[in-house]
Chains A and B, each alone.
Chain A
């Protein structure tokens, strides 16, 4: 059984004869491309988080009003890297629908975004509750 027939079997579950008219699909190459997109996406996602944390940590030590160009570069990089990470995972998902890594990575990103949103809402609700019930004795 040649490689093309094997791929057809994997896709349909039944063995169909390969004719000359059928397009040649290189599944290994497609998987490699999709995985590469996902790895770059993961790298950019991690870089955006590191850059965002670095911006906050750095702002604690220096005067951001006099050195704000560094902050602008760091926060712009963080935003662009974050957006690029999402774009690449969507490209992988839309163009290589059979790829499981892209599917899992997209749902991991969505789960992380929901978790961060829930944590932020919980923190804000806690702060609002604490401020509304707090009183200064004496």
Chain B
């Protein structure tokens, strides 16, 4: 709800009877997969490749997300999802399926990497209503106000995350469409995502004000790991040349 006028405009999040976090995260992932499937079909990837890639990517995404949450929380009984674990799992799943199936692997990878910020951005609606990942204390315009025991007025970090990552998805679509070398497009997208996510960490309530906080180190490690994984995969599959260059060599 937005209240304008004499009172500064604020966004009030009501206290919900149950947290829609899990439902919204799973819906975001499902929408992301649907868009990735559409992009793969447009790139001419066969139905069998899409089916097997989606199965492996789902398994790796969920398993690594749950595993990542266990490792971060240091509690083997903590069942939950970790966003960073999910991203690394998704890349691993696409890499492995590319190594097995070898049907337009760079188009499959580009489709999933381009869609990742859409999933992440939409999943932030879960954080917005769940009350997690909020910004620092803030009373100005567009502050997000939570009621209840853990209530407070916060900088709208989740809304900025959503907007930036959905805009990133639009940029990614242009990049994979315009750039002939899909692997180069994947590197550019991964680098952009790492930088954007790193900068957005400054807005979070848990950022301690230092130049590089521990959360930002995790972002840099996950970004570097993704780039290394893509590089290893590229050499194993011998992909990554622009069509014109590959044709000249033949």
Nearest Cβ in chain A — how far from B36, in angstroms? 17
Any chain A CB within 8 A of the CB of B141?
no
Give the distance to chain B from A6, nearest Cβ to Cβ, in Å.
28
A75 x B100 contact (CB < 8 A): no
Q: B67 to chain A: which residues have CB within 8 Å?
A: 75-76, 79
A-B contact pairs, 8 of them (CB 8 A): A74-B76, A75-B71, A76-B67, A83-B59, A90-B52, A106-B55, A128-B18, A132-B17
Task: For the complex formed, measure the closest distance between the CB of A94 and the CB atoms of chain B, giving whole angstroms.
Answer: 5
Which residues from chain A contact B55 at a C-beta distance below 8 Å?
86, 90, 106, 110
Q: Does B96 contact A (CB under 8 A)?
A: yes
A-B residue pair count with CB separations less than 8 angstroms: 56
Task: Tell me how far the C-beta of A131 lies from the nearest C-beta in chain B, rounded to whole angstroms.
Answer: 8
Q: Mark B39-78, 1 if CB is under 8 A from A, else 0.
A: 0000000001000100110011001101100110011110
Say whether A101 faces chain B, with CB atoms less than 8 Å apart.
Answer: no
Q: Are B100 and A82 in contact (CB under 8 A)?
A: no
Considering the chains assembled together, what is the distance between the CA atoms of A128 and B22 in angstroms?
A: 13
Interface status of A42 (Cβ within 8 A of chain B): no
Which residues on A sit within 8 Å (CB–CB) of B77? 56, 59, 64
Given the known inter-chain contacts A59-B76, A94-B52, A110-B55, please indicate yes or no for A79 contacting B100, CB distance below 8 A.
no
In the bound complex, do residue A56 and residue B97 qualify as a contact, i.e. CB atoms below 8 Å apart?
Answer: no
B56, A75: Cβ atoms closer than 8 Å: no
Q: Any chain A CB within 8 A of the CB of B101? A: yes
B63 pairs with A79, CB closer than 8 A = yes
User: What is the interface residue range for chain B against chain A?
Assistant: 20 to 34
Name the residue on A nearest B68 (C-beta).
A79
| CB atoms of A82 and B63 under 8 A apart | yes
Binary contact track A21-32/B, C-beta < 8 Å → 1, others 0 = 000000000000
Chain A interface residues (CB < 8 Å from chain B):
55-56, 59, 64-65, 68, 71-72, 74-76, 79, 82-83, 86-87, 90-91, 93-95, 106, 110, 113, 124, 128, 131-132
Tell me how far the C-beta of B85 lies from the nearest C-beta in chain A, rounded to whole angstroms. Answer: 10
Min C-beta distance of B30 to chain A, whole Å: 12
- Which residue of A has the minimal Cβ distance to B103? A94
Say which residue of B17, B74, B96 sits within 8 Å of A87 (CB atoms). Answer: B96
With contacts A56-B77, A82-B63 taken as known, whether A87 is within 8 angstroms of B56 at the C-beta atoms is: yes
A82 neighbours in B (Cβ, 8 Å): 59, 63
B76→A75 contact, CB < 8 A: yes
The 8 Å CB contact of A64, one of B59, B71, B76, is B76
Given contacts A79-B64, A83-B60, A90-B55, contact A65 B100 (CB under 8 A): no
Let me know if B100 and A94 touch, CB within 8 A: yes
Within 8 Å CB of B101, what residues of A? Answer: 94
Residue on A nearest B22 in the bound complex, by CB = A124
CB neighbours (8 Å) of B17 from chain A are 128, 132
Interface contact A56-B76, CB-CB below 8 Å:
yes
Provide the residues of chain A in CB contact with B64, threshold 8 Å: 79
Structural contact, A71 and B76, CB atoms closer than 8 A:
yes
Contact B56 A68 (CB under 8 A): no
Assess A55 versus B76: contact at CB under 8 Å? Given A79-B63, A83-B63. Answer: yes
Chain B residues, Cβ within 8 Å of A128: 17-18
7 nearest A-B pairs in the assembled complex, by CB-CB distance: A71-B76, A128-B18, A79-B67, A86-B59, A79-B63, A132-B17, A59-B76
User: Taking each of B63, B70, B76, which has the highest tally of chain A beta carbons within 10 Å of its own beta carbon?
Assistant: B76
